Amino acid sequence: MLFFISTGEIYYLFRHNRILLKKQLKQPKINLTRPLFILPFCFVFLNGYAQSKDSVSLSSLIKKNSFALRDGNFQGTGWDILQKEAEKVQFLMIGEQHGEAEIPVFTEKIADVFKPKAFVAEIDPYSAERLKKIAPNPTGYVAHFNKWPYDLAFYCWETEMHLAKKLITSKVDIWGLNEITFMSTGLFFEELSNIAKIPANKQLALKKAIEYGLNDKPLYLDANTFNELSLFKLTTGYLDSLQFTFRNDNKQSQKMLRDLRASRPLLWENYPMRVEMMKKNLLNYVAPYIGRDSISIPKLLFKFGANHLTRSNSTTGFYEVGNLADNLAAAQGKKTLHILIFGKQGTINTMLSTDNKKAIQTYNVKDDKDLTSFKPFYSLVNDDEWAVFDLRPIRAALKRGSLKGSNLEMENLLTGFDLLVLFSPVTGNKFIH
């Protein structure tokens, strides 16, 4: 499954296979030509991970705390623990497996306890503004997605949109950190037409909106046709010419085209640039809360693919949004909570078509190569159960060098997350039709 290939730029998921991504995200090699004074430090660091005489087994540190979803509410010891943990922190991060309908439900219930000022999502800033307009009006969902099937990335799914509606009606702002997805190219140009002031530019943008919309709509039914999407017509050269055409138009339309141009390279293998763009967008949102003598960023609830919300760089080789958020919280004397969540078995949305019959497929975590290292945890979860595991005691043992029975893949996530939430069964999230 696509656990670590998590991105609001959905086309990226189809274009790149796991081998290419892993090659792209591999840890940087140690440069042995560097001065020798770094070697003693490396020895001390690595020695700290050597197994000590007082080693403890992984199984002895895994403690399951169960809870259940009953009548629309969570109950049980595990949920009590989660509520108490949420009340202690300023930023709460939910690193997810995409396509699972239960995770937005969990997020909604966490939000009721946490009461964030803003919800930070894996969509672009323009989609975030559009989501705030669309989500409060359920009667318009079907018409919108019939016209723009893949708009709003994951929020074209049923329980994701319900989560957005609940947050927005509760006066929670939506912040989008992602690059522009190119999966709603026609809608982007429709909005550009509405914003532009020069009549010729408005007409050009509207023409492109109609052209791209008609071209793309039938292609969303089959990932094998995605290479025919209109996004391929938006070459960097063409976008440069559009910027020149709009050079005398208003600042807002010029900014839209600049942002579209900046997003274009991220369709390919430029993952580092994508990470930096997400961090830059986060800084843009929090800037009003940072003064010369104080930092007062309000409570923020994040929900992204898991690799984006780790506090370390051990998973992808890059310091992601989760790490920046962790540093921002520390700068104002606050704490963060990083939750890793995924389901055990059932069905999942594979994102390979907007046809639910094709998109929703059988899923079992034991067949998921990205998650096999977590067998000691998910093997303890029953078929009708939610459970939370505290990863911090395990991480402490790892740092002491006393942990045995773990593996590198698991250790990478242990360094980045505090709690692990598992559940079964899991249900594939459906596209809104």
Q: Residue 414: its pLDDT value, please? A: 84
Nearest to 215 by CA among 205, 226, 204: 226
Q: Residue 256: its pLDDT value, please? A: 97
User: Do 419 and 336 have their domain in common?
Assistant: yes
- Read off the pLDDT of residues 139-187 as tens digits, 9 standing for 90 and up: 999 999 999 999 999 999 999 999 999 999 999 999 999 999 878 899 9
Q: DSSP letters along 342-384, please?
A: EE-EEEEE-SS-SSHHHHEEEEEGGG-TTTGGGHHHHTT--TT
Q: DSSP letters along 43-74, please?
A: HHHHHTTSPPTT-EEHHHH--EEEEEEETTEE
Q: Which of 267, 299, 318 is the endpoint of a domain?
A: 267
Average of per-residue pLDDT across 418-429: 98
Is 10's pLDDT higher than 60?
A: no
Question: Is there a domain that residue 136 lies in?
Answer: yes
Question: Is there a domain that residue 79 lies in?
Answer: yes
Residue 287 and residue 278: Cα distance in Å, rounded? 14
Residue 269 pLDDT class (50, 70, 90 cuts): low
Q: Which of 267, 288, 319 is the endpoint of a domain?
A: 267
Question: Is there a domain that residue 34 lies in?
Answer: no
Which long-range contacts link 81-87 to residues 24+ away (Cβ below 8 Å)? Answer: 81/388, 81/390, 82/110, 82/113, 82/388, 82/419, 82/421, 83/113, 85/337, 85/418, 85/419, 86/110, 86/113, 86/114, 86/337, 87/113, 87/114
User: Do 241 and 312 have their domain in common?
Assistant: no
Q: Cβ neighbours of residue 250 under 8 Å, at least 6 residues apart?
A: 195, 196, 197
Residue 327 and residue 319: Cα distance in Å, rounded? 11
Average of per-residue pLDDT across 68-86: 96
Could you tell me where the DSSP H helices lie in 264-341?
A: 271-286, 321-331
User: Do 348 and 412 have their domain in common?
Assistant: yes
Tokens at 276, concatenated: 């930096």
Q: Which of 209, 239, 267 is the endpoint of a domain?
A: 267
Half-sphere exposure of 44 (CA within 13 A, CB side): 5
**40-44, 134-138, 234-238: least confidently modelled range:** 40-44
User: Do 99 and 172 have their domain in common?
Assistant: yes
Is 137's pLDDT higher than 80?
A: yes
Average of per-residue pLDDT across 230-257: 95
User: Do 274 and 194 have their domain in common?
Assistant: no
Average of per-residue pLDDT across 122-151: 96
Q: Residue 11: its pLDDT value, please? A: 43
User: With contact defined as beta carbons under 8 Å apart, do 114 and 298 qualify?
Assistant: no
Question: Is there a domain that residue 98 lies in?
Answer: yes
Half-sphere exposure of 67 (CA within 13 A, CB side): 19
Residue 70 and residue 365: Cα distance in Å, rounded? 24
CA 176, distance to chain mean position in Å, is 10
User: Do 211 and 297 have their domain in common?
Assistant: no
Question: Is there a domain that residue 35 lies in?
Answer: no
User: What average pLDDT does the chain have?
Assistant: 88
Question: Is there a domain that residue 323 lies in?
Answer: yes
Is 294's pLDDT higher than 80?
A: yes
User: Do 311 and 336 have their domain in common?
Assistant: yes
Residue 59 and residue 243: Cα distance in Å, rounded? 59
Q: Residue 148: its pLDDT value, please? A: 95
**244-248, 355-359, 368-372: least confidently modelled range:** 368-372
- Tokens 């318009």 belong to 140
Other CB atoms closer than 10 Å to residue 283's CB: what's the count?
A: 13
Q: Residue 12: its pLDDT value, please? A: 40
Is 215's pLDDT higher than 60?
A: yes
User: Do 91 and 162 have their domain in common?
Assistant: yes
User: Do 316 and 172 have their domain in common?
Assistant: yes
**47-61, 94-108, 264-278: least confidently modelled range:** 47-61
Q: Residue 6: its pLDDT value, please? A: 37
User: Do 154 and 65 have their domain in common?
Assistant: yes
Q: Residue 36: its pLDDT value, please? A: 28
Question: Is there a domain that residue 39 lies in?
Answer: no
Nearest to 184 by CA among 239, 251, 229, 141: 229
Could you tell me where the DSSP H helices lie in 64-198?
A: 77-86, 102-114, 125-134, 141-147, 158-169, 185-195
Distances (CA, A) of 364 to 1, 62, 100, 237, 372: 9, 21, 12, 44, 11
User: Do 244 and 318 have their domain in common?
Assistant: no
Q: Which domain range does residue 245 map to?
A: 185-267
- Read off the pLDDT of residues 387-410 as tens digits, 9 standing for 90 and up: 999 999 999 998 888 888 778 878
User: With contact defined as beta carbons under 8 Å apart, do 62 and 387 qualify?
Assistant: no
Tell me what percent of the residues of the chain surpass a pLDDT of 70: 87
User: With contact defined as beta carbons under 8 Å apart, do 172 and 111 qualify?
Assistant: yes
Question: Is there a domain that residue 113 lies in?
Answer: yes
User: Do 242 and 290 have their domain in common?
Assistant: no
- Read off the pLDDT of residues 317-345 as tens digits, 9 standing for 90 and up: 999 999 999 999 999 999 999 999 999 99
Peptide bond into 35 cis (omega under 30): no
Residue 315 pLDDT class (50, 70, 90 cuts): confident
Is 1's pLDDT higher than 70?
A: no
- Read off the pLDDT of residues 26-59 as tens digits, 9 standing for 90 and up: 444 433 333 323 223 232 333 344 444 568 999 9
Residue 268 pLDDT class (50, 70, 90 cuts): low
Domain count, the chain: 2
pTM, full prediction: 0.88
User: With contact defined as beta carbons under 8 Å apart, do 430 and 156 qualify?
Assistant: no
